[in-house]
Amino acid sequence: MRDRGEFLFTSESVSEGHPDKVADRISDTVVDAYLAADPYARVACETLVTTNRIILAGEVRGPETITKEQLAHLARMAVHDIGYDQEGFSWKNAEVSVHLHAQSAHIAVGVDAAGDKDEGAGDQGIMFGYACTETEALMPAPIYYSHLILRRISELRRAADSQVKGLLPDAKSQVTLKYVNGKPVGATSVVVSIQHEESLSLAQVREMIRPIVQAALPEGWMPAEKDFYVNPTGIFVIGGPDGDCGLTGRKIIVDTYGGAAPHGGGAFSGKDPTKVDRSAAYVSRYLAKNVVAAGLAERCTLQLSYAIGVSQPLSLYVDLHGTGKDVDEEKVAKTLRDLVNLTPRGIREHLQLNRPIYVPTSSFGHFGRTPDAELGTFTWEKSDLVPALKSAFGR
């Protein structure tokens, strides 16, 4: 995203009931089931959901006590929690097929620690992290507010005394912000598309959504009425996996920075933390966030790269986009490598990733979330490197 000038930038989010997010949720449910039974289990689970059908496939290495029947039950419970009990997709009667098989022995040889060899990366690839001062979460504003709108709709929909009765799980939001001199100053348009019961009119849905959007956006940011779009097609009754096939890993821009920063291409959900697609993307966000939280820069993009079976990252790149506060980017990179062991094992231990903490990440983004000390979730959102970074740069 540009640093100066006047421009518009748009990001979208999707709800936990979006077909692709249903698939992500089920895949992460499988990851958590294995990690709960064995913190060092290996999982690569892909899920497909369509009309009353759920298909799991992939590779695992873990306790044999976890059966296909158990995984099928967990998939149904995930769908139940999301809220699907519709004719075309119901937790009760959807057909669940589990096609998980043993992890390749050739991959295991390259990844596993042995003798003097440290654990290697589970795949080759590049991962990016990003942080900026646009929001209190140090996230880009368009994706932050897109997520916030849908999180609040979800909370209201699930409430016992729900004020949005008739709204259903499948939803998308899109926020376009105007930037002046590199800073967001207001929304020029907001789009919310949400599945609803047939008894609700478009006008009723619109009136339910308007106050939620107004409360989510900063004061004065609500766009003009003509630029506030709710269900632009006029009706959204058939939705979820009955309306559109869902697959794990198809919402990677929603999961990260809404397009405001680069993405390495690897999805997160369904993968245990030996897969650097996931763990290295988390630590990249962690490092970038701490750089910005320490006041060293207003923006930070960070890239890590790995080779399968090799423990140390091949590269660490830091870009402060000209916003660095009298700091050298090469020194920032060196300091970060000194502070955190960036091997796959080092990342997992530092961020405590070998735990069943991944279901909450499957919707509303993996970044910009609040760490929960009790549950141990979103440890990569901590700012605990700030004192060391300030000390290293004399702040």
Identical fold for domains 6-14+141-238 and 125-133+276-392, yes or no, is yes
pLDDT at 161 over 90: no
- Mean pLDDT computed over 262-289: 96
- Residue pair 378/371 in contact (Cβ under 8 Å)? The answer is yes
SS3 state at 106: helix
- Mean pLDDT computed over 49-68: 96
Q: Give the model's confidence band at 222: pLDDT under 50 very low, under 70 low, under 90 confident, else very high.
A: very high
Query: What is the pLDDT, as a whole number, of residue 395?
Result: 84
SS3 state at 247: strand
CA 192 to chain centre: 19
Least-confidence region, from 114-128, 237-251, 286-300: 114-128
pLDDT at 196 over 80: yes
Query: What is the pLDDT, as a whole number, of residue 119?
Result: 75
Listed as own residue / partner, the contacts of 387-394 with beta carbons closer than 8 Å and 24 or more positions apart are: 388/339, 389/290, 389/291, 389/294, 389/296, 389/335, 389/339, 390/294, 390/295, 392/331, 392/335, 393/294, 393/296, 393/327, 393/331, 393/335
pLDDT in tens, 302-330: 999 999 888 999 999 999 999 998 999 99
Cα–Cα dist 247/55, whole Å: 10
- Residue pair 284/303 in contact (Cβ under 8 Å)? The answer is yes
Radius of gyration of the chain (CA): 21
pLDDT at 7 over 70: yes
Cα–Cα dist 47/53, whole Å: 10
Class of domain 125-133+276-392 as given by CATH: alpha beta
Q: Spell out the residues 6+ positions from residue 279 whose beta carbon is closer than 8 angstroms to its own.
A: 273, 344, 347, 348, 351, 353
Which residue is listed with tokens 């300091």?
A: 335
Query: What is the pLDDT, as a whole number, of residue 5?
Result: 80
pLDDT at 251 over 80: yes
What is the β-pairing status of strands 228-230 and 183-196? parallel
pLDDT, averaged across the chain: 94
Nearest Cα to 283, choosing from 382, 143, 390?
A: 382
Query: What is the pLDDT, as a whole number, of residue 208?
Result: 96
Percentage of residues of the chain with pLDDT beyond 90:
89
Please state, as a whole number, how many other Cβ atoms lie within 10 Å of the Cβ of residue 73.
Answer: 12
Query: What is the pLDDT, as a whole number, of residue 392?
Result: 96
Report how far apart, in Å, the C-alpha atoms of 118 and of each of 112, 115, 250 are: 8, 8, 32
Q: Spell out the residues 6+ positions from residue 151 whose beta carbon is closer than 8 angstroms to its own.
A: 364
pLDDT at 122 over 90: no
> Phi and psi of 281, rounded to 5°?
-65, -35
SS3 state at 170: strand
End-to-end CA distance of the chain: 28
Q: Give the model's confidence band at 1: pLDDT under 50 very low, under 70 low, under 90 confident, else very high.
A: low
- Using alpha carbons only, what angle is made at residue 127 by residues 286 and 322, rounded to the nearest 5 degrees? 70
- Mean pLDDT computed over 185-209: 96
Tokens describing residue 81:
């929690």
Report how far apart, in Å, the C-alpha atoms of 313 and of each of 121, 197, 307 are: 9, 50, 8
- Using alpha carbons only, what angle is made at residue 361 by residues 357 and 362, rounded to the nearest 5 degrees? 120
- Mean pLDDT computed over 253-275: 96
| Domain ranges for the chain | 6-14+141-238, 125-133+276-392
pLDDT in tens, 125-141: 999 999 999 999 999 99
Tokens describing residue 385:
């490197």
Query: What is the pLDDT, as a whole number, of residue 45?
Result: 98
pLDDT at 109 over 80: no
- Residue pair 130/259 in contact (Cβ under 8 Å)? The answer is no
Cα–Cα dist 153/131, whole Å: 26
CA neighbours closer than 13 Å in the CB half-sphere of residue 265? 5
Task: Please state which CATH number belongs to domain 6-14+141-238.
Answer: 3.30.300.10
pLDDT at 115 over 70: no
Tell me 29's DSSP state: H
Nearest Cα to 173, choosing from 153, 155, 199?
A: 153
Query: What is the pLDDT, as a whole number, of residue 104?
Result: 66
